[in-house]
Amino acid sequence: MNIGILGAGQLGQMLALAGYPLGNRFTFLDTTGGHSAAIGEIISDPQNRRLGDFLERVDVVTYEFEHLPVALIREIEAHRPVYPSSRAIAVCQNRVEEKALFDRLSIPTPEYRVVESAAALEEAARALGCPAVAKSTTEGYDGKGQAVLKTPDDAPRAWDEIGHSQLIVEAFVDFVREVSIIAVRGRDGEVRFYPMAENRHADGILRYSVAPLPDLDDSVQTTADGYIRALLDELDYVGVLALELFQTRDGRLLANEMAPRVHNSGHWTMDGAVTSQFENHLRAVQGLPLGDTRARFPTCMANVIGREPDSGEVLRQADVHLHRYGKAERPGRKLGHVNLVAQDHAELARRLDALASLLPDAPAPRFSFVT
Amino acid sequence: MNIGILGAGQLGQMLALAGYPLGNRFTFLDTTGGHSAAIGEIISDPQNRRLGDFLERVDVVTYEFEHLPVALIREIEAHRPVYPSSRAIAVCQNRVEEKALFDRLSIPTPEYRVVESAAALEEAARALGCPAVAKSTTEGYDGKGQAVLKTPDDAPRAWDEIGHSQLIVEAFVDFVREVSIIAVRGRDGEVRFYPMAENRHADGILRYSVAPLPDLDDSVQTTADGYIRALLDELDYVGVLALELFQTRDGRLLANEMAPRVHNSGHWTMDGAVTSQFENHLRAVQGLPLGDTRARFPTCMANVIGREPDSGEVLRQADVHLHRYGKAERPGRKLGHVNLVAQDHAELARRLDALASLLPDAPAPRFSFVT
């Protein structure tokens, strides 16, 4: 089966690497002109003139990037099956619709307001209490389009800084940790859940994800499974969905945002789970049975950001698995990731310290389960 | 680093799949015109006119197929590093030189004679005792270029059938099982050994490999490690080397043949070992530290020969990992393989029976450790 992928970055490349062994071939439609994927045919189409060429090569279409025009997805849907659907992408690319869906499905979120002026932003910050976080309702990712208000007086500055006509303002959550749940739903409605990961960000960019978590109560996983299943079923979703959450001091989960695709916080599955998120996404979109989502070993994913480490030094570490994306160095850019696999979490924490010291500008890894 | 691969079949493709995450890019030189690899640039060169194009694209050269003209390898060596070297390939593509090397390094082999006529073949069969196996000294693989002599009188028929001017005749070995040892040697001389696999053939083609083996005495692994280390060091070898052996009833090992490349009996490492043979070969040829060769779990590799199974039915099995090669169906052709991973050997044997029933024309799996 020839699979079309909208976008041609590292997620597309990792999908292709997982798909060749399944017998798939890949065609990428790159509407941005900034592709880095090197496997499969890339149709570079910044002028939107080559959709026909793309469609005639592919049997089914998926994407690695959700900030695509919904009209484009709808046009493709008229000719080829697209998974996840245009409805899923429409919800995920607008924080107002996303929050409304969370509300409708009784998935708790931080308290929030939608505002459309600097004055309204100031009023919302006063009502919610500060610190508060303002986010553009569209086009935000990796911490872009966001600002923290320490006091309501920061509103004019934040409004100008973000520069969007509509923002969501959220009450600051005093969370213990950021976590995520990744699940996959097949064409037949079957759902499988990966063990939750704990995620550590720096400067708004994911740095580390660890899964499974030794100190996660089963009931928390079950709660998260229930939330993501509600989303998957409501959207009649096919493929991998990621849901980022805050875990509060009293153990509750508050949904932050979701991504309708394979997700950075699921890269640990490439070496730590029976079936990777990439393979499971591909199995789902082509109607194949889903693979086992069980974790084999405690695994930590460490992102390589901005500058490359010495590959030799990294590969000299025990049970590390390097995943480079073939991109040029640039501050803040995701260039690759390293998966570290260990027999237990104590060993994982110890070896992670050694690994982190080899990654340029990597913050010290700190996880809630390390005492 | 851009890696050049001579040959463009499934082994080259699996090398590329392992190499993209290391940051490598691949260029294949296909001198046969029968490529199936779909990843990376393929230079189709049946007329031997495009070697310059190939060389200017690559930093280092390796191969997935040893039946290449040694003169070609030597020519490439004048311009780029080639691993394993032309010396290794020269020895491996000639059974007479290979046996002589085994003899020189005191690696036991079945008793053999070199013959250059039907009459000499008959005489050798009489001296060695029948059944005996005659093999062309060059160009044999997957059981091609071989014949079994049940009596010395079969000599004229066998001679005509094989149709080579020089044969090796070997005494039939009353072996308990066929096994193989795969090892990798780095540019710095470091050597790592994979756990030995038991291999089951049908019609001269490998059908199943299992590793590690529950009933293999440590001393047998140590003996095999010693044999392959002697070969690696003697040839100043860089990369993965495979050595096929017979294990006799009294536990001795007799070397059958070696292959200077990643090997079908090492495909289990893709899902069953910490580092796959493909990644380790690439680490070796580019001077990176070698990865851990430890097995994580009992794993069985089952080849898909001639006809494709129903992918959905295969993927519905627990902990199976499908590796399709993207080749058209043809009797006797290797189309892919399936790795089956289990917690223990009893479970492996049980689930292997279920898997085998889904693979067209697969013989019933029988292993010496299953009682």
The single residue listed with the structure tokens 């039915």 is B313
**Closest-approach residue (CA) in chain A for B323:** A21
* Residues of chain B where predicted confidence (pLDDT) is lower than 70: 140-143, 370-371
Q: Which residues of A touch B (CB under 8 A)?
A: 13, 17, 20-23, 25, 38-40, 274, 283, 287-289, 291-292, 296, 311-312, 315-316, 318-319, 321-324, 326, 336, 341
- Mean pLDDT along residues A243-271: 96
Pick the CATH number of A111-171 from 3.30.300.30, 3.20.190.10, 3.50.50.60, 3.30.1490.20: 3.30.1490.20
Residue B109: per-residue pLDDT: 96
Asked whether residue A287 carries a pLDDT value surpassing 80, the answer given is: yes
- Mean pLDDT along residues A37-64: 91
Query: For the domain B2-82, what is the CATH code?
Result: 3.40.50.20
8 A C-beta contact, residue B181 and residue B191 = no
What residues of chain A lie within 8 A of the CB of B323, using their CB?
21
Q: Is A334 annotated as a binding residue?
A: no
CA angle in degrees (0–180, nearest 5) for B250-B253-B256: 135
Query: What gap in Å lies between CA A51 and CA A45, rounded to an integer?
Result: 8
What residues of chain A lie within 8 A of the CB of B274, using their CB?
319, 341
* ipTM (interface predicted TM): 0.94
Q: How many CB pairs under 8 A join A and B?
A: 73
Asked whether residue A66 carries a pLDDT value surpassing 90, the answer given is: no
Give A141's pLDDT tier (boundaries 50, 70, 90).
low
pLDDT in tens, A309-348: 999 999 999 999 999 999 999 999 999 999 999 999 999 9
User: Hey, are the CB atoms on A326 and B23 less than 8 Å from each other?
Assistant: yes
Residue A144: per-residue pLDDT: 72
Asked whether residue A39 carries a pLDDT value surpassing 80, the answer given is: yes
Please name which of A161, A195, A168 lies closest in space to residue A295, comparing C-alpha atoms.
A195
Query: What gap in Å lies between CA A153 and CA A365, rounded to an integer?
Result: 34
| Tokens read off for B154 | 């079969």
* Extended beta strands in chain B, E state: 2-6, 25-30, 41-44, 60-63, 112-115, 132-136, 146-149, 167-171, 175-185, 191-193, 197-202, 205-211, 239-248, 253-259, 299-305, 320-324, 334-341
Which residue positions of B form the known binding site for ATP?
95, 135, 140-146, 170-173, 178, 201, 256-257
What's the start-to-end Cα distance of chain B, in Å?
A: 48
Residue A31: per-residue pLDDT: 86
Nearest CA of chain B to the CA of A291: how many Å?
7
What's the start-to-end Cα distance of chain A, in Å?
A: 48
**Closest-approach residue (CA) in chain B for A324:** B21
Residue B82: per-residue pLDDT: 98
pLDDT in tens, A165-206: 999 999 988 899 999 999 999 999 999 999 999 999 998 899
Give A143's pLDDT tier (boundaries 50, 70, 90).
low
Give, as one character, the DSSP assignment of residue B290: P
Give, as one character, the DSSP assignment of residue A142: T
Nearest CA of chain A to the CA of B319: how many Å?
7
Residue B136: per-residue pLDDT: 93
- Percentage, residues of chain A above pLDDT 70: 98
Indicate the residue of B291, B312, B322 with minimum beta-carbon distance to A21.
B322
Nearest CA of chain B to the CA of A343: how many Å?
11
Q: Is A144 annotated as a binding residue?
A: yes
Q: Is A135 annotated as a binding residue?
A: yes
Residue B140: per-residue pLDDT: 62
User: Hey, are the CB atoms on B38 and A22 less than 8 Å from each other?
Assistant: no
8 A C-beta contact, residue B244 and residue B199 = yes
CATH architecture of structural domain A175-356: 2-Layer Sandwich (3.30)
Task: Give me the residue spans of the domains in chain B.
Answer: 2-82, 111-171, 175-356
Asked whether residue A86 carries a pLDDT value surpassing 60, the answer given is: yes
Please name which of A202, A218, A186, A198 lies closest in space to residue A288, comparing C-alpha atoms.
A186
